[in-house]
Structure 1
Amino acid sequence: MKTSRHSTLRAGLAAAAALAVLAGLAGIAYEQIGRYRAVRDFPAPGKMVDVGAGRRIQLDCRGTGSPTVVFEAGLSVDGSLSWSAVQPKVAAHTRACAYSRAGLMWSDPSNTPPGAAQAVHDLHAVLAKSGERGPFVLAGQSLGGLYALGFTHRFGAEVAGLVLVDPSHPEQVERVAHFMTESRSMRSRIGIALAPFGVLRAAAPVLLPESPHHSAQDMEAVRAFAPKSLRTQLAESDAADASLAEAKSFRDLGDRPLVVLTAMAPYTAAELRGMKITPEQGRQVQAIWKRMHEEMAAWSSRGRHLLVADAGHDIQLDRPQVVADAVLSVVDAVRSSSR
């Protein structure tokens, strides 16, 4: 009788293992088909630029004129599409380029660690390889603002002006540490680990719901590339502390025209829950954020600080005309200086 029970248990475990293997193989096939369809159904806007070592970076440049505006996205999964509402407005007046960092959307991943140094190196390479020449006006949002500062620190002769859109500040973590403690979800890491089995692709509609700021076509593209982009986003988030520390020396912008935009819409209930703070603490954090941006505007003798009362952190999506106007004001200042 005992032997029979053991045989039944072994048979059950074997069947479960076989089902798990079949499910895993089905998931792998689902993910591979999804990757193929993503490339087939959503071709990269602009062009793919070979930056060496067999890697290609997506670059989308439009319009004509000088200086050339280069957009740097924040810690997001939509790459160059983060600027889809702003780029056409700017491209009507001058050359405007948006790109997707390594591992985001269409761009190939990099073998070097993510972060400011890697982003700056890739951006310089993709601009040079594609024949785009300065002077450049850099427009960076959130963490992308620090990357824009890093580019200016490393290749300052090519940068004529900057627009920082609700940018990260090098000391932001320590200044708000007594209000919140940053946490990186284990669920995100598990999801990334299971991405080769199609888990993230299947969950993409839930993880990345419809947005009023993106077209249906763009949202489909973002979801199609989500398994790759979400992995990169997590890696960049893990490297954020190092990027912030490195940026502490990027505070001298000389007399370059500079605009710093600060989002001043009250934090939503969802944002407060995510930060694990009360509405009153949210107001205090926002006041600290505003003061940090005032400091950043003073890093140039021609810096301006503008508050955007009705926009959240993604000002380029909430109020694209405000961002476009800020960019074009810097473009005009650069043109006036060169006459």
Structure 2
Amino acid sequence: MRIILWSAAIVALAVLMGVVYEQAGRYRAARDFPAPGKMVDIGGRRIQLDCRGSGSPTVVFEAGLSADGSLSWSAVQPKIAAHTRACSYSRAGLMWSDPSEAPHSARQVAHDLHAALARAGEQGPYVLVGQSLGGLFATSFTRHFGAEVAGLVLVDPSHPDQVARVADFMTETRSLRSRIAVSLAWSGLLRAAAPSLLPQARNQTARDAQAIRAFAPKSLSTQLAESDATDATLAEAGTFRDLGNRPLVVLTAMAPYTETELRGMKITPAQGTQVQAIWKQLHEDEATWSSRGRQVLLQNAGHDIQFDDPDAVIDAVLSVVAAVRADLGAAPH
């Protein structure tokens, strides 16, 4: 009985220490990493919005399925802001932004972003830049607020048909380990594991990597919820594939999958080559969604092109900005 009591006491103490560690971590995150830009109230909750530079059109960045929020674009936004207005933001529940009680959907993301831009006093026309799943969030924004969207850049974007097209090679799985880790965020375990779960990306500053890890317990919970809603997001986005004659650039990552990526997808290198060929074809299709769409293949970039080859993203964005200005007869400033 004495052994049982001592064991229970040790467990209780460990849990208490973990809770204190997590609460202290949340306090330090807010203190050490204040939100860049401003916190915009969109009706009882706030969205973090970071707008820099001046000029028209305004470039708006939409992150992919990650914990990075607005920091997904840290290697790209400053150089775009030297040429025109450039805004990045964190979706509800990511990094500094307050969570939303609404179900995750592309429509909800579009309305959150539109409300944040409007209440912050930002004005179109917009050039939307979306990476991975953020590409479909960008096209969904165009669906709901098309009059304000003048052009798009899709950075290794998701495609509505991607799951069906690769079903013969791989089955989508969602890690039980990740789900357990997120459920134990209150205990400090997820915060302790953040450095291994969220390694510093190429062309990412150490401070940005530290900030992302500091908010990991909150952001990874949102990322998991967004992942769970992916099938519904793909289905919703698939009902809109007409971008008219807006200038559009689709960037496709063509670097061979790494061993880590192949293990994560549970496929062989040969199957990886076939999956990548399908990915290229899907992007060819997305480029046809606009009569002025074009695809650019990047042989040395992986999925996170904005970090692997930021100059390619910058060049694509500025080319669309120039096309929009030509269309509108707009001066840079």
Which of 130, 134, 148 is the matching residue for 2:138? 148
Which of 227, 234, 240 is the matching residue for 1:244? 234
Determine if the alignment matches structure 1 residue 280 to structure 2 residue 266.
no
- Counterpart in the other structure of 2:252: 262
Farther off after superposition, 21-30 or 87-96: 21-30
2:56–2:84 Cα contact (<8 Å) kept: yes
Question: In the TM superposition, what are the counterparts of 1:16-27 in structure 2 within 5 Å?
Answer: 16-27=7-18
- Counterpart in the other structure of 1:4: none
Which of structures 1 and 2 has the bigger CA Rg?
A: 1
2: distance between equivalents of 1:115 and 1:27?
A: 33
2: distance between equivalents of 1:14 and 1:115?
A: 48
- Counterpart in the other structure of 1:213: 203
Question: In the TM superposition, what are the counterparts of 1:88-127 in structure 2 within 5 Å?
Answer: 88-127=78-117
1: distance between equivalents of 2:328 and 2:293?
A: 18
Task: Give 1:210 deviation, angstroms.
Answer: 3.0
2: distance between equivalents of 1:198 and 1:52?
A: 31
Which of 5, 20, 29 is the matching residue for 1:14? 5
- TM-score of the pair, normalised by structure 1: 0.95
Determine if the alignment matches structure 1 residue 138 to structure 2 residue 128.
yes
2: distance between equivalents of 1:168 and 1:207?
A: 23
Query: Can you list the C-alpha shifts for 1:136-166, whole angstroms capped at 9, x where unaligned?
Result: 0000000000000110001111101000000
- Counterpart in the other structure of 1:34: 25
Determine if the alignment matches structure 1 residue 305 to structure 2 residue 295.
yes
Supply the AA of the counterpart residue of 1:290: K
1: distance between equivalents of 2:278 and 2:151?
A: 25
2: distance between equivalents of 1:13 and 1:116?
A: 51
2: distance between equivalents of 1:300 and 1:311?
A: 24
Which of 322, 325, 328 is the matching residue for 1:332? 322
Q: Which 4+ runs in 1 deviate beyond 6 A?
A: none
- Give SS of 2:210's match: helix
2: distance between equivalents of 1:189 and 1:14?
A: 31
2:62–2:130 Cα contact (<8 Å) kept: yes
2: distance between equivalents of 1:180 and 1:212?
A: 27
Determine if the alignment matches structure 1 residue 49 to structure 2 residue 40.
yes
- Counterpart in the other structure of 2:243: 253
Question: In the TM superposition, what are the counterparts of 1:62-211 in structure 2 within 5 Å?
Answer: 62-211=52-201
Task: Give 1:205 deviation, angstroms.
Answer: 1.4
Task: Give 1:65 deviation, angstroms.
Answer: 0.4
2: distance between equivalents of 1:204 and 1:236?
A: 19
- Give SS of 1:52's match: coil
Supply the AA of the counterpart residue of 1:24: V
- Give SS of 1:250's match: coil
CA RMSD of aligned residues (A): 0.9
- Counterpart in the other structure of 1:6: none
- Counterpart in the other structure of 1:320: 310
1: distance between equivalents of 2:141 and 2:42?
A: 17
Farther off after superposition, 204-213 or 156-165: 204-213
- Counterpart in the other structure of 1:291: 281
1: distance between equivalents of 2:122 and 2:234?
A: 28
- TM-score of the pair, normalised by structure 2: 0.97
- Give SS of 1:146's match: helix
Tell me the matched-pair count. Answer: 329
1: distance between equivalents of 2:304 and 2:164?
A: 23
2:202–2:308 Cα contact (<8 Å) kept: no
- Give SS of 1:286's match: helix
- Give SS of 1:234's match: helix
